[in-house]
Structure 1
Amino acid sequence: MHIVVVGLNYRTAPVEVRERFAFSEQDMPQALLELTRTKSVMEGVILATCNRTEVYVVVDRLHMCGYYIRSFMEKWFGIPREEFTKHLYMYEEEQAVRHLFRVASGLDSMVLGETQILGQVRSAFLLAQGEKATGKWFNMLFKQAITLSKRAHSETAIGESAVSISYAAVELGKRVFGSFSGKRVLILGAGKMSELTAKHLSGGGTEEVLVANRTFTRAQELASKFDGTPCTMQEAMRRLSEVDILISSTGAEGYVLTSAQVTKSMGLRPDRPLFIIDIAVPRDIEPSIGELPNVFLYDIDDLEGIVESNMEMRRGEAILIERMIEEEIAAFTGWLQTLGVQPVIRALQEKSSAIHASTLDSLFNKLPDLGERERKVIARLTKSIVNQMMHDPIKRIKEMSGEENGLAALDMFTKIFALEEQLEEQSASMEALAVEAPVPEPIAVGVEVSPDKVPVPMMKASV
């Protein structure tokens, strides 16, 4: 069995390509069904976000698996393979495991260390598990990835500092006031930057968020998304004395707020400071406003310095998470190796038990006058001899299976004890159970770049 991931993301494909590979939520169960029906695929999970579409699979053979996954994508999306193959990357075995761990931890995200991707990985896994598309391998691997990501964000500071201009503006406001509880905020402008700022402000305990825009209907649209209060630019100027924080991003050609306007406003609120963040280019706020008493003005250059400083800090924290990932890869690899040794040990135990039982039958047939007590004593003592003889070989093969040449050691162990027949019987029995037995209920799991740390996509001809 082998683990493979095939996908495309914001590095390998522009948005006009990524949007053609979006899985709708209602179609995902059918997509998972089609994926698991694909040749060689034993387990599957599909991760689809605005920045990536990735197909994770457990396959019974590596040869041609990239071709089969590409065929699945071609059939599902109705897009000729020659139009998207160049955008795909493919990782196998340990590289695939490492990629999943980096994705879940936010190290492969456009914004290094972001936490939204963890929820998306968790949802993708739980959906696949609920649709019976996962099995022993992915139930373990994805649960481990989710747990690792939570630990990475709780044990490091990678997600604690602002790395976007809008978020940095809000974080700067928190530094000044401690919290937004009871504060009034005025947002000038209703564009994308203003919307992101309002999003970061929502739920922060603000008393009121005023949204002003030259086009009042646009102010209404934005305010409705965050339970804010829409107003005209003229009304915003009249209410300037009421607000504690002003964030401006209008895209206007000239200043929308002058020193004279703020001077008048501050006369009505002599004991309350005014915190202003100008994230517009060109600037919305007259620079001389920053010289007024009790007024604190920051522009986009101030924020970019904060963002870059925080990003550098995140890169340092990412190194710590990379070390965690390597430890988790080793743990998962060790777990896989125990899966390989368990059937061999069981085969040896079954074979030794069969030999022991056959030997006892022969002995008791030759000594028919033995009583029940004597038979039990002989059975117990001979079983003890068998167990003691097997103890060291079993202990040793467990140790050897975790070493570099573990598979070769297992193969040699199988041949030395002639266990091929027992292993074949086990395999046939498991196949029968897989057909007849019900699939177990989904397990419960807890939920949530530095460019030089990102592995180069491994482009393969078979993809």
Structure 2
Amino acid sequence: MHIVVVSVNHKTADVSLREQLTFAEDTLTNAYNALINQKSVLECVILSTCNRTEIYAVVDQVHTGRYYVKSFMAEWFNVDIETVKSVTDVEVGNDAILHLFNVVTGLDSIVLGETQILGQVRDNFLLAQSEGTTGTVFNKLFKMAVSLAKNAHTQTDISSNAVSVSYAAVELSKKVLGTLEQKNILIVGAGEMAELALENLAGTGAKSITVINRTLEKAQSLADKYKGTYQDMSLLQEALVTSDIVITSTSARDFIITEPMMQEVMKSRQNAPIVLIDIAVPRDIDPAVNDIDMVFNYDVDDLKGLVDANLAEREKAANVIRNMIDSELVSFLEWVNMLGVVPVISALREKALRIQETTMESIDRKMPDLSERDRKVISKHMKSVINQLLKDPIAGAKEISGHPDREASLQFFQEIFNITNEVESIKQKEPIIHRSESSFNFDLKR
């Protein structure tokens, strides 16, 4: 059994390809139902954000598993499988685990150390869990990943002066137009990315901010929070006429700012310059507007080169986090190896308790006049003897879990204590791996 991740991200594909391979939020439930029923897939989590689409899977065979995950993506997005293959990275085993840890801590983001991805990983995992597509392995791995990221952000300076794509959008606006205090700023969208942009804009001293959204109540709520104004989406074109900077972040599947619209806007503006920053995937702004004079249009790929003044300090923090990641990987692999030991230890304890129970029944028959207090004292001391006798064998079984030949050693251990049948019975009653009883094949050495 193996962990694999098939990833489309800002390193493997440009924004036009990434937006073709983005899961709409309202389709994820159906996507999970289709994915978990793919051949070889035993557990799965879909991570779909503005800069990456990734499928994490526990599979019974590496080659079969990654093939069917890619086939699922090709079928789901109605694209040729060769296209999927050309824009995806595949990581297996330790590398897949390291990839998740790097993603959730922000080390694999466009802007180093951004914190938004942590919440996205957590939310996507919780959705997968609610859909029943995670089990023993991913329930443990993703909880460890989220805890690791929280510790990384609190114990290092990686998230100082919080940086995200939204922050980079604000920095770009300042680079193009200088101070933002006297500029008219339009935010299109009222989701998390839009709020992050507003939060960073507030820190620049920007005062004239308008929020437009399809749901007017959400636009009002966000605008009120940052002392801005709000409008309905039907007034978008009019709002563009009076804006200097426009940051878009909606979940629309089609362009909301088109080339004909901007042609009309620029006539009304008398060709006064306007900065458009599209941080949505799929894009909100038609790339054709780039051909219009005095329209400066940027999408998420244009933000890659923007980093904050603390990049050097963030890189130092990143090195600390990489050491934390190495330790977490070892901890997870040790936990995986322990999975095979748990039934053995349980069987050993069950056998010992049966012996104690049988012995107490014999004592009761031979000494029927024992008081209840005497019986409890005898039982307590017998349990103490059993616990002391089992202490070293259990410690030995746990130590075996780290051996390269652990399967053979555990089998020998079972034979010594004559608990093979008990172990098999426990595995059948309480399988330790979701949808399978196979063993993992991970390398503890790095």
The TM-score normalised by the length of structure 1 is 0.62
How far has the Cα of 1:2 moved from its partner?
A: 3.1
Does structure 1 conserve the Cα–Cα contact (< 8 Å) formed by 2:42 and 2:58?
A: yes
Aligned pairs for 1:99-138 within 5 A = 99-138=99-138
Q: 2:173, 2:244 → 1: CA distance?
A: 17
How far has the Cα of 1:108 moved from its partner?
A: 0.8
Give the letter for the 2:182 counterpart. V
Which residue pairs with 2:37 in the alignment? Answer: 37
Are 1:185 and 2:182 counterparts?
yes
SS of the residue 1:110 aligns to: coil
Does structure 2 conserve the Cα–Cα contact (< 8 Å) formed by 1:188 and 1:249?
A: no
Which residue pairs with 1:264 in the alignment? Answer: none
Which residue pairs with 1:54 in the alignment? Answer: 54
Q: Which has the higher Rg, Structure 1 or Structure 2?
A: 1
Does structure 2 conserve the Cα–Cα contact (< 8 Å) formed by 1:210 and 1:223?
A: no
How far has the Cα of 1:426 moved from its partner?
A: 1.3
Does structure 2 conserve the Cα–Cα contact (< 8 Å) formed by 1:45 and 1:57?
A: yes
**Cα gap change, 1:5/1:346 in structure 2, threshold over 3 Å: closer, same or farther?**
same
The total of aligned residue pairs comes to 353
| C-alpha distance after superposition, 1:73-131 (max 9, x if no partner) | 23323333233223222222222111111001111112222222222212211211222
RMSD across aligned C-alpha pairs, in angstroms? Answer: 4.5
Are 1:218 and 2:240 counterparts?
yes
Which residue pairs with 2:68 in the alignment? Answer: 68
How far has the Cα of 1:137 moved from its partner?
A: 2.3
How far has the Cα of 1:152 moved from its partner?
A: 1.7
Give the letter for the 2:54 counterpart. E
Give the letter for the 2:208 counterpart. E
Q: Which runs of 5+ in 1 are unaligned?
A: 237-247, 252-283, 285-303, 436-463
SS of the residue 1:185 aligns to: coil
Give the letter for the 1:218 counterpart. L
Which residue pairs with 1:440 in the alignment? Answer: none
How far has the Cα of 1:166 moved from its partner?
A: 4.9
Give the letter for the 1:185 counterpart. Q
| C-alpha distance after superposition, 1:368-388 (max 9, x if no partner) | 575445877766655554443
How far has the Cα of 1:167 moved from its partner?
A: 3.8
- Same amino acid, percent of matched pairs: 38
Q: Which runs of 5+ in 2 are unaligned?
A: 189-193, 212-236, 249-264, 277-293, 295-303, 436-446
Q: 2:80, 2:378 → 1: CA distance?
A: 72
| C-alpha distance after superposition, 1:10-67 (max 9, x if no partner) | 2222333322221111110111122222233332110012322111122345462222
Q: 1:95, 1:78 → 2: CA distance?
A: 29
Q: 1:341, 1:20 → 2: CA distance?
A: 45
Which residue pairs with 2:15 in the alignment? Answer: 15
The TM-score normalised by the length of structure 2 is 0.65
Which residue pairs with 2:323 in the alignment? Answer: 323
SS of the residue 1:113 aligns to: coil
Does structure 2 conserve the Cα–Cα contact (< 8 Å) formed by 1:46 and 1:56?
A: yes
Does structure 1 conserve the Cα–Cα contact (< 8 Å) formed by 2:6 and 2:69?
A: yes
SS of the residue 2:38 aligns to: coil
**Cα gap change, 1:411/1:40 in structure 2, threshold over 3 Å: closer, same or farther?**
farther
Aligned pairs for 1:196-235 within 5 A = 199=198, 202-204=201-203, 206-208=206-208, 218-220=240-242
Give the letter for the 1:86 counterpart. S
Q: 2:306, 2:84 → 1: CA distance?
A: 38
Does structure 2 conserve the Cα–Cα contact (< 8 Å) formed by 1:18 and 1:51?
A: yes
